[in-house]
A = this chain, B = another copy of it.
Amino acid sequence: MNKVISASQKATREQTKEHNKRFILKMIYERDPISRADLARLTKLTRASISNVVSALLEEDMVSEVGLAKKSVGKPPTLLSFNKDARQLITLDLASDMFRGSLMNLRGEVLERVKISLGGRRGPAAVEQVIALIEQLQERATQPLLGIGIGTPGVVEPYQGVVKSAINLNWTELPLRDLLQERFSLPVYLANDAQLAALAQFLFSSNKDGIQNLILVKVGRGIGAGIIFGGEIFFGDGFSAGEIGHVVVDPNGKLCTCGHNGCLETMASTRALAEQMSQIAASNPSSRLHQMVRDGETLTSNAILQAHLDRDFTVQPVIERSGRFLGGAMAHIVGAMNIRHIYIAGSMARFGDALLEPIRQEVFRRSYPALINQIEIKISELGADIVLLGAAALVLNFELGIV
């Protein structure tokens, strides 16, 4: 994604310059604080070239000089620090019924948060909510805005910034980027929420170990995976790579709206969880959820999680069932693609080991034995902000070439 030069284009001096500028800024971002001399050693550019680029970065206020370092002999180096508050960015997560937005600094640290409940609004009304969110955040910005990053559910064409289809929002072929770019005169980037979550995982966590490929499965109301290959989001031919919600995991399972029986989403999402728990709790007075169901309340995943944390033993088997279906769906991909790093995110991830263990077992059971001990399946540690972080990564990557 950080490519300045594509293989099917001519190369120019300007691209060389741009590349090196991004490269240097990235190094400062990563090794903050660092001296010009160290940058020269690290990048293999000359000190003269580094000085030249750094002057420009100082001019743009992207970095600052923050004092001298002590070394044994010689002139002490001037330390440069990445100016994480030089710009701000707006990030949105439209994946759930509660639209969430945040104002962030250049390190993806949240400065402000806003939420708007969709309350069933769809189509253009939902777009209005997006605009309202951005306006609120824009007002609170205290620094020039670098851009807007958005994670939306459904199939997204990220190059044009078009939401091809988001069923819950009733969006089809919605040119959201152009729409917002015109409205706010800021660069706008969008991608599917699970794809962004995977990008966040890669850039804010896994990237450190030289990992270049990973799959992140986001399990919430819907189920979707984000795939990182070679350090970039893999979109697929129709931009719906990772849309595993409708993989059939049980041909005898419940009928899905998509026309198939036993889709992963009908068997393992939080909705499926709530349905199954309702039944079990209704017929099981020992369950802590029994009373709730009796009172005609719909079970939320929060309530189920709370019951689970309170050691309600009726929850575990249902989580396990979800985990096995998830693991079954993942095994094929992980095996065939030879991917070693798998992460689980989304609201379901809060169940932790209870969900993770059956996933692990099922993946291992179906994998080529020689490869099993290389597979690492983990709960993502990035929590509820993972999509916002991914959206930030998108903006930071395109605008500055960092992260």
Contact = CB atoms under 8 A, between A and B. Distances in A.
Interface stretch (A10-18, A54-62, A63-71, A113-121): A10-18
Contacts of A211: 237
Interface residues of A, number: 61
A19 B10 CA distance: 7
A41 to B, nearest CB: 12
B11 A338 contact: no
A43 B235 CA distance: 28
Interface in A227-282: 227, 229-232, 234-244, 246-248, 258-260
Nearest to A18: B11
A32 to B, nearest CB: 17
A227 B337 contact: yes
A11 B20 contact: yes
A368 interface: yes
A8 to B, nearest CB: 8
A336 B15 contact: no
Interface of A: 2-5, 7-13, 15-16, 19-20, 23, 43-45, 211-213, 225, 227, 229-232, 234-244, 246-248, 258-260, 329, 332-333, 335-341, 366, 368-371, 374
Given A7-B23, A15-B16, A246-B368, 18 more contacts: A2-B7, A4-B11, A10-B43, A11-B16, A11-B23, A13-B16, A230-B230, A236-B338, A237-B339, A237-B341, A238-B340, A241-B336, A242-B336, A248-B366, A260-B368, A260-B369, A333-B333, A337-B337
18 contacts: A7-B23, A9-B44, A10-B23, A11-B15, A11-B23, A13-B13, A225-B336, A227-B337, A230-B230, A235-B338, A236-B337, A240-B338, A242-B338, A247-B335, A248-B366, A260-B369, A332-B336, A333-B337
